[in-house]
């Protein structure tokens, strides 16, 4: 695999091109989540295509108090993982290769979406991310670019940039890969001690609690719609011994809030419980948003949504999310 390790734009541009080219952009410290992205890229590029993995720790994405120096650099291991997953080449440039004039004077602006959630917590992060993604798209010239859905806001912004600025590339989102205990795979998981990891599991548990609340409400509504939700109907059903249908009808009759709030509440309950653990989970945000612009989903929201969470456990900040879909009666 080392013979296909590329460090310069000149080497990259000299790489013979075969079929469709798919690119997977990473900051290194590759794990099974990245391997899944690379395998998916291999499938989508096809047997005659080409998969290029980029490994670059982008300084523009790190704030003054963030972990740029601490971020793991494991290039030898990255090469083994990338090669084993089907990559044809790994482009691992130095900082001055990507930014030959120093910090770029002209950058991509993430706009209002880039100021929400992760952007509010990490000002300038998404401007730096989009700037390097734009540069790497120009350098690698792919037909396809694959990104993980774990970084849902990043994926949404990349899609928007590609559309708004007419990049000739197809952006493919790949579902989040989780460890057996549910924790989303992340390069930062290695920083967690065993007790911190136990607390961190609350992130995925909270998301699944929100998902379960949505599924339970959908089932409740389906049953209640089969038995009209009125107090008279509920009482009649109870007399007939149809206790479950009666309870469903009463619940729908009494419901006054929107389902998005119920989903948030179910997730928040798990996170608040984890805040009392030792060590505690320190919540940054829990949000249920429209994936088109990452604005909060209101009471009557319908369609696709993202339930997203960010929190610190010890010194490690973690993010996670799951996609949801709200029906017309949610």
Catalytic positions are 34
- C-alpha 286/C-alpha 147 separation (Å) is 22
Angle between the 243-254 and 202-226 helix axes, to the nearest 10 degrees?
Answer: 100
Angle between the 125-140 and 152-164 helix axes, to the nearest 10 degrees?
Answer: 60
Of 268, 297, 296, the residue nearest 284 (C-alpha): 268
Where helices occur in the chain by DSSP H, the ranges are 9-13, 32-45, 75-85, 95-98, 118-121, 125-140, 152-164, 194-200, 202-226, 231-239, 243-254, 259-274
Residue showing tokens 């790190």: 62
Per-residue burial over 252-289, b if 16 or more Cβ lie within 10 Å, else e, is beeeeebbbebbbebbbebbeebeeeebebebbebbbb
What secondary structure letter does DSSP report for 122?
S
Bridge partners for 42 per DSSP: none
- Dihedral of the alpha carbons of 103, 104, 108, 109, in degrees to the nearest 10: 60
Bridge partners for 72 per DSSP: none
Task: Report yes or no: 29 and 42 within 8 Å, Cβ to Cβ.
Answer: no
Task: Report yes or no: 93 and 9 within 8 Å, Cβ to Cβ.
Answer: yes
- C-alpha 110/C-alpha 129 separation (Å) is 9
């Amino acid at each position: 695999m080392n013979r296909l390790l590329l460090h310069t734009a000149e080497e990259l541009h000299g790489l013979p091109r075969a079929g469709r080219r798919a690119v997977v952009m990473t900051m290194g410290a590759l794990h099974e989540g990245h391997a899944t992205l690379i395998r998916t890229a291999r499938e989508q590029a096809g047997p005659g295509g080409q998969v290029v993995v980029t490994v670059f720790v982008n300084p523009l994405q790190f704030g003054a108090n963030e972990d740029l120096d601490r971020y793991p650099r494991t290039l030898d291991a990255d090469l083994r993982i990338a090669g084993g997953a089907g990559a044809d080449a790994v482009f691992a440039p130095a900082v001055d290769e990507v930014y030959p004039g120093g910090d770029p004077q002209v950058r991509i602006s993430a706009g209002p979406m880039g100021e929400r959630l992760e952007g509010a917590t990490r000002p300038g992060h998404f401007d730096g991310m989009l700037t390097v993604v734009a540069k790497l798209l120009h350098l690698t010239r792919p037909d396809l670019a694959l990104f993980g859905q774990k970084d849902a806001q990043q994926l949404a912004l990349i899609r928007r940039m590609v559309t708004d600025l007419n990049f000739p590339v197809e952006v493919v989102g790949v579902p989040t890969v989780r460890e057996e205990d549910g924790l989303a795979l992340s390069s930062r998981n290695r920083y967690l001690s065993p007790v911190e990891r136990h607390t961190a599991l609350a992130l995925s548990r909270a998301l699944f609690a929100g998902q379960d609340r949505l599924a339970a409400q959908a089932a409740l509504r389906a049953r209640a719609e089969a038995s009209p939700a009125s107090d008279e109907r509920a009482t009649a059903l109870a007399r007939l011994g149809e206790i479950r249908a009666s309870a469903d009808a009463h619940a729908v009759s009494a419901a006054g809030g929107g389902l998005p709030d119920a989903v948030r509440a179910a997730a928040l309950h798990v996170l608040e419980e984890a805040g009392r653990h030792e060590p505690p989970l320190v919540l940054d945000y829990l949000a249920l948003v429209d994936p088109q612009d990452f604005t909060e989903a209101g009471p009557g929201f319908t369609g696709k949504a993202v339930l997203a969470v960010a929190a610190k456990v010890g010194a490690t900040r973690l993010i996670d999310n799951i996609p949801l879909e709200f029906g017309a009666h949610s």
